[in-house]
Amino acid sequence: MSWTDERVALLTKMWHEGQSASQIAKELGGVTRNAVIGKVHRLGLSGRDAEPPKTAEPAAPPLAAEPAAAEAPAPDPVPEPEPEAEPEPEEAPVQMPPRRQIIPAGQPLPPQPSANEIDPEALANVREVEKTAKRISLMELTERVCKWPIGDPATEDFAFCGLAVEPGKPYCEAHVGVAFQPMSSRRDRRR
């Protein structure tokens, strides 16, 4: 696969939309995220919009910038014509949702396992997360999705959380929070 104008245009568009290199690579097909990143750099659009103020020190102290005889500062009004290599192809402004769509749960949430001696903060967090959980089925479980059960396994609306797991753990960040509570925090929460 080569970098045709169209592919470069799509790359540029997606990059400015904030898509990750791997997502762009997947969308384009035939290239790896490395290729995308390499191309991004070659195109000079690495810093997605603002200029990097923290690059390497140019080591150019402005000390003798002013010639001694210069009485007038001689300002330069518009030194940068800024080529603006942004062709901005007439792309259809539609097809806007680059972000992963989320399936809302819209459902009362049956009682959770041992949901009464858990750190209130973590619990609140979980209820929040479960509103936005992906709710995947048993067959959709993989090594890297949260396996926290949501709902009653006996009913149809049962599902697993399905969010991205905390690497190395079986659950997402929020569910790890309630799954692995140190005994210290669960002590004396009953009066």
The residues of the shown chain that bind DNA, judged by CB under 7 A, are: 1-3, 19-23, 31-35, 37-42, 46-47, 144, 167-168
Amino acid residing at 129: V
DSSP class of 17:
T
Contacts of 130 (CB under 8 A, 6+ apart): 105, 109, 150, 161
Q: How far is the CB of 142 from DNA (least distance, A)?
A: 10
SS3 state at 149: strand
Q: How far is the CB of 1 from DNA (least distance, A)?
A: 6
Write the DSSP string, 84-145: ---------S-----SPP-----S--PPPTTTTSS-HHHHHHHHHHHHH---B-GGG--TTB
Q: How far is the CB of 182 from DNA (least distance, A)?
A: 21
Q: How far is the CB of 17 from DNA (least distance, A)?
A: 11
Nearer to DNA, 3 or 158 (CB): 3
**CA 44/CA 30 separation, integer angstroms:** 22
Nearer to DNA, 46 or 185 (CB): 46
Nearer to DNA, 13 or 33 (CB): 33
Nearer to DNA, 6 or 152 (CB): 6
Nearer to DNA, 41 or 189 (CB): 41
Q: How far is the CB of 48 from DNA (least distance, A)?
A: 8
DSSP class of 46:
-
